[in-house]
Amino acid sequence: MRSAAHAYEDRFHNGIFENLPAETRERLDALLRPENSSQEDEQGESTGKAPALLLKLRASPGRPSLASVQDEFGKLEAVRSINIPDNLFSGVPSGILERCRQRVVVEVPGDLRKHPDAPRLTWLAAFTYLRSRSLTDDLVDVLIETIHQIGARAERKVEKQFTEDMKRVTEAILRRFTKHNVQHPTYKALAELGKAIKTIFLCHYLHEEALRREINEGLNVVEQWNGATDFVFFARKGELSSNRREDHEISMLALHLIQNCMVYVNTLMIQKVLAQPHWQGRMTPRDYAALTPLIWEHVNPYGKFELDMEARIDLA
């Protein structure tokens, strides 16, 4: 089995090597040399450091920025300049290409140069072929992230500038129309307008009984809900003792959950009572309108404690 696998690999490597143009072979071997190819980096080989050109192709895009976009463009141009034939790997399974790519990724350039020409150039060609595809995907992702960052920075800058402008305008208006400048015509006009609006509302309130009832009913609903909140949120006298925002959110969410549960249970109980026949004939539309699930007189927030006066605490 091993001999057959080696024979297949040799045929595969030799077939790819024969289909590589001479210029492409030279450019593939150039990936294993430093950018300054006049002298070998012996120290880099001994310590396992890759030459700069291959290191650039192996590197990830990094944080999204204009510099990373330019770097990815440079990698893509370097890979495409090798000029791998389009049909070089046609019909080759993706698993074999991935194994070839892994050999280039895990081995240092000095070790790669020790391999024979056919397998070495086949691995480099597969690495370059797959890297050109991944570089395109990386470049698209980096471009999208960079555009989002630029847009977010622009929005923050515009919001900051708008806030500062509004603050200056508001301060200027307030300085002009404060009580220390009551003689200003605009201040007098706004004050008289406010008095007129309040007077009109009070006239409507005193003249229309329906408006007074509507306002009173709304106030009753609000007070009823506040009473339920005080009843449920009784620990520490209803005060938020923590300074952490997360603790406040948890307390409010728990309060809303308990309130919703109480409303749900009360609604089921009221429906069960109203389903009885003798209540259906006694309830008027006005009575139905006055029903509310915001009741808690039947709820014991402290739990239930059984007290047996016949039993004694065992002190032994």
Regarding whether 231 and 151 lie in a shared domain, the answer is no
Q: What is the reported pLDDT for 72? A: 78
Check whether residue 106 and residue 240 sit in a common domain.
Answer: no
How far from each other are the two terminal CA atoms of the chain, in whole angstroms? 82
pLDDT score for 48: 43
Domain co-membership, 237 together with 107: no
In a domain, 16, yes or no: yes
- Determine the pLDDT at residue 40: 44
Asked, for residue 237, whether it belongs to a domain, the answer is: yes
- Residue at 167 is within a domain: no
- pLDDT value at position 196? 93
Q: Of the residues 123, 156, 189, which one is the last residue of a structural domain?
A: 156
Residues 106, 21, single domain; the answer is yes
Same domain, 86 and 14: yes
- Domain end, chosen from 93, 121, 156, is at 156
Q: Are 30 and 115 members of one domain? A: yes
Do 6 and 75 lie in one domain? The reply is yes
Task: Examine the domain organization and report whether 67 and 134 are in the same domain.
Answer: yes
If asked whether residues 134 and 229 sit together in one domain, one would say no
Do residue 118 and residue 245 come from a single domain? no
> Do residues 37 and 118 both lie within one domain?
yes
Query: Which residue segment(s) compose the domain that 285 sits in?
Result: 208-290
Distance between CA atoms of 76 and 215, rounded to whole angstroms?
Answer: 71
Q: Is the dihedral of CA 53, 57, 58, 62 positive or negative?
A: positive
Query: Residue 198: inside a domain, yes or no?
Result: no
The pLDDT tens digits of the residues spanning 65-95 come to 777 777 777 888 888 888 888 888 888 888 8
Number of domains in the chain: 2
- Rounded Cα distance, 276 and 266, in Å: 16
Question: Does some domain include residue 20?
Answer: yes
Residues in the chain where the model's pLDDT stays below 50 = 38-50
Which of 92, 123, 156 is a domain's end point? 156
* Structural domain includes residue 196: no
Residue 203 lies in a domain: no
Cα distances (angstroms) measured from residue 82 to each of 76, 105, 121: 10, 18, 12
Is residue 221 located within the same domain as residue 133?
A: no
